[in-house]
Amino acid sequence: MAEISELSALEFFQDIDEEVIAYLAKGSEVRHAEQGEVLLHQHDRAIALFFLLTGKVQFLIHVAGLDDLLVGTDNETGALIGWSVFRAPYRHTVTVRCEQDCRFLRIPRTLFTVLFEQSPQVAHTLLRRVAEVLAHRLVNNRDRLLTASGAEGRALVETSSAKMTSSSAMHFDRETLGSDQESTFRFLRHTTFFEAMPDIYLRSMLGLGRMIRIEGGTLLFQQDQQAKEFYLLVSGRVELWYCGSDGKVCFFLNSLENIGQAFGWSALVKPYQYQVCAMANTSVCAWVFTADELDELCQQDPRFAMQLMERVIWLIGNRLRMARTQLIAKRYQKETLAVSALLEQNADTLHVTSPMHKIPYLLENRLTLSDAFGTLELLRNHGEDENERNLAGLALEILQKVHAELHFYQGLQRIYESVANAPAVQLPQQVRSHCMEEFQALFSQTEFRVAGEEYLPDCPGQIFIMNHLENHTDNLLPNDFRLTLDTHFVSSMLIYPKYGEAPIRVIRKPELDWYGFQQYFDRLKYLYVYPGDVDDEDRDLHLTREARNRRFMDQAHARLKQGENIIICPEGRCYYTEESPGPFKSGAFRLALEADPEPLIVPVAVANFDKRLTRTTTAAIVFPSFRVSDHVKDREDPTALYAFINRLNHWYKGYVRQAIELAETATH
C-alpha cells in the first residue's frame, strides 16, 4: 500500500478529493527498478499506471531487425507512465527502460475502472490531465521530428499570400447540416472521432456546432494561437504543419481528407493553444464546435464529459503514434520500415483477416507497390472499422514519398514501352521526339536546377560531352534495364528545347542477353561502339575491330553533317556524383578532330542523378564550348591529345563541383 501523502504530492492528483486519493492509495504500491531494467514492454497488456518518483526513464520503439529507437526521456517527478491503461485495446505503445535507478508509484487499472464508473466527474478531470501529458509529449516528439527533417523543413506560406479565416473567407451553410438534426446525427455517428460514442451523448450535441466553408489557401488556425474551436472535416483537404520556435521553418505532418476527421483538439486540452498550423489545401467544409459550448455540455453531463475526453485521448494518441512513426522513417530513411513498425505496434488491434497484415510484404517489391497503395486507399475509405481505416490513413501519409517514387518509376516504365514497342511506321526521329516530351513531363515532377543555357551553340551539329552518373537501383526495370536519367535529362531539358530535335547518344553495344536494351536503343537509332565482343548480327559482317571503329566514325560524321547533335560520355562508364568525373577516354575528341567541319565540344556537368530523383535536387550546367584543335595543334600527335584530355578532366572536376553547389542552393 502506498502512502496517501505520496499520491497527494503528485501534480496529477492536485485538487482531487481526499477520499478518492485514499481509495487509490489503498490499492497502490511503490516499486524500485535498477538502471537498465525494463519497466514496461511494448505490446504488453496495460494493467497498471505508473508515476515516476525518482530517477530517469527512456521511451523506446521496437524496429524489427534494428536497434530500438529512442523517442523520448523523462526525469520529472510525477511523470505519468503507462497511459495506455485509459485507451483500448489497453496495450503499451512503447517500451519503458530505466536510464537510472528509479522509484515508481504503481496504481492498478482496475482501481480506475471502478472509480470512473462511480464518479464520472473525477474521471473527466483525470482523463483531461492524461490528455495534457500526451499533448506535452507530442510537442517533444514533433520537435525531434522537426530537427530530424533538417533541410526538408520549409516556410509554410509567404506572409504576403497567407490568409487567416475571416468573414470573407468563411461562409456559413445550414442548408444541409444543422437545419436537420437527423442528418447532423448521421454525420456525427459516422465520423471517426465519435464512432465509438453512445447515441445518447451524440444526440445531446445536436443543438451545437455550425457548418463553415473555407477558401483554399486559407489558414484555419495558426500554431500557438488561442484554441477556441474544434473541427470535423466534411469535405476538402486540410494540411497540418508543425513550425519551429521562430515560426519560419515548418514541417508537413499529414493531411486530412476523409469525412469526419477531427482536428483542433487543443481547444479541449490545456493550455488551449493550437499545437499546429491547419491550412485549407482546397475549398473546405467543416463542422465546428466552440470550446465554450462543449465545455458547457461537459458541465451539465459528467458522463458525456468522460466519453468526450476518452475520444480526445484516442485522437492525441494517434497523433503521437504518427509522430513516432515518422521519426522511424527519418532515422532510418525507410518509410516502408516505419509502416512495418506502425503495424507491429497495432497488430493486436487488427483483425487477423485484415488486409493490412499483407502491406509490409507488398511494400518489399517495386512491382507490388501499386498493389500496396491500392489496398491502403481502399481500406482508408472502406475499412472494416475505425482502427483499420485510421491505420491505413497513417500508412498512406508516411508513404507519400514512396508513392511519388512509384509514380516516377511507372513513368519510366511507360517511356520504355512507348519507345521499345513504338509502331514500325514511326520514324526514329519521331520516336526520339516522343521520348523527349515524355521525359520532360517526368522531370517536371522533380526538383532540378539548370544553368549556363546561354552557352548552348546557336547551330546544331555539335558534340556534347558530360560526366556519366550511376543509376539508382530503384529505377531498375523488370527486364534489368535502367534508363540513364542524366543523359535523358540533358537531352530533353537542355538540348531538345534549344534545337527542337533530340540528340543522338553514343552507347556501348549491348551484351548478347541484353535484349531489352537493344530494343530500346535500336528504335532511337543511337550510335553503337564496341568495347568488347560483338553479337552474331555484327559478326556476320566479318568486320575487324579497326573496321568497326571506322564504321562508327563514318556514321557519326554523317550525323553531325546532317545537323544532328551527339552526346558522348567520355568516361566510358558510370560514377557516383561525389567521385565524378572518372578518367576520360579519347574517342569523343578524336571524333571531333576527324570531322569536317570540326564541331564544337559542349561540356555539360551534372549532379545527383545517381540518387532518388523524388528526394533530391538535380543540377546540370552548360559550360563554354571549344574546338579540340584550339588546344591540340598537331592532330597527329597523340601525346598532345592526351595531355589536353588530362587537363580537361581536371577542369571537369571543378565543373561537377559547381553542379553540386548549384543543387545545394536549390530552395523548395
Q: Which fold has domain 4-118?
A: Jelly Rolls (2.60.120)
pLDDT of 29: 94
Alpha helices in 84-155 (DSSP H): 109-118, 120-149
pLDDT of 166: 46
Dist CA 668 CA 648 (whole Å): 34
pTM value is 0.67
pLDDT of 666: 59
Element of type H or E holding 172: strand 170-172
Give the strand order in the sheet containing 170-172: 170-172, 210-214, 284-290, 229-235, 262-263
- Identify residue 121 by its one-letter amino acid code: Q
Measured over the CA atoms of residue 105, residue 303, residue 138 and residue 390, the dihedral's sign is: positive
- Coil vs helix vs strand at 528: strand
Where are the extended beta strands (E) located within 326-471?
A: 447-451, 463-466
Q: Which cell is 249 given?
A: 521553418
Q: What pairs with residue 444 in β-bridges?
A: none
CATH of the domain spanning 143-316, picked from 3.90.420.10, 2.40.30.10, 2.60.120.10, 1.10.1740.10: 2.60.120.10
pLDDT of 541: 59
Q: Are strands 48-54 and 102-108 parallel, antiparallel or unpaired?
A: antiparallel
pLDDT of 247: 67
Dist CA 433 CA 412 (whole Å): 16
Report the b/e string of 458-492 with b at 16+ CB within 10 A: eebbbbbbbbbbbbbebbebeeebbbbbbbbbbbb
- How confident is the chain (668 residues) per 10-residue block, as mean pLDDT? 87 93 94 95 92 94 76 91 90 92 96 94 95 93 78 47 47 51 88 88 91 92 95 93 79 85 95 94 94 94 95 92 78 77 78 91 87 93 83 86 89 93 93 96 95 96 96 83 92 97 88 66 88 55 75 93 96 92 94 94 96 92 96 88 94 96 76
Question: HEC profile for 113-126?
Answer: HHHHHHCHHHHHHH
Measured CA to CA in angstroms, residue 459 lies from 111, 361, 463, 565 at distances of 86, 53, 12, 9
- Identify residue 318 by its one-letter amino acid code: N
Q: Which cell is 399 given?
A: 508513404
Q: Which cell is 296 given?
A: 458547457
Q: φ, ψ for residue 396 (rounded to 5)?
A: -65, -35
CB 435 within 8 A of CB 415: yes
pLDDT of 3: 86
Element of type H or E holding 518: helix 515-524
Tell me the per-residue pLDDT of 486-512, one tens digit each, with 9 for 90 and over.
999 999 999 999 999 999 999 887 655
Q: Which cell is 190 given?
A: 459516422
Counting Cα atoms < 13 Å in the Cβ hemisphere of 25 gives: 17
In the chain, where are the structural domains located?
4-118, 143-316, 405-664
The contacts found for 15-21 with CB under 8 angstroms, 24 or more apart, are: 16/122, 16/125, 16/126, 17/122, 20/115, 20/119, 20/122
Within this chain, domains 4-118 and 143-316 share the same CATH topology: yes
Q: Which cell is 285 given?
A: 467544409
State the angle between helix axes of 400-420 and 335-345 in degrees (0 to 180), rounded to the nearest 10.
130
CATH of domain 405-664: 3.40.1130
CB 307 within 8 A of CB 198: yes
Question: If we measure between CA atoms, which residue out of 429, 408, 428, 590 comes closest to residue 485?
Answer: 408
- Identify residue 635 by its one-letter amino acid code: R
Residues 6+ apart with CB under 8 A from 208: 289, 293, 294, 297
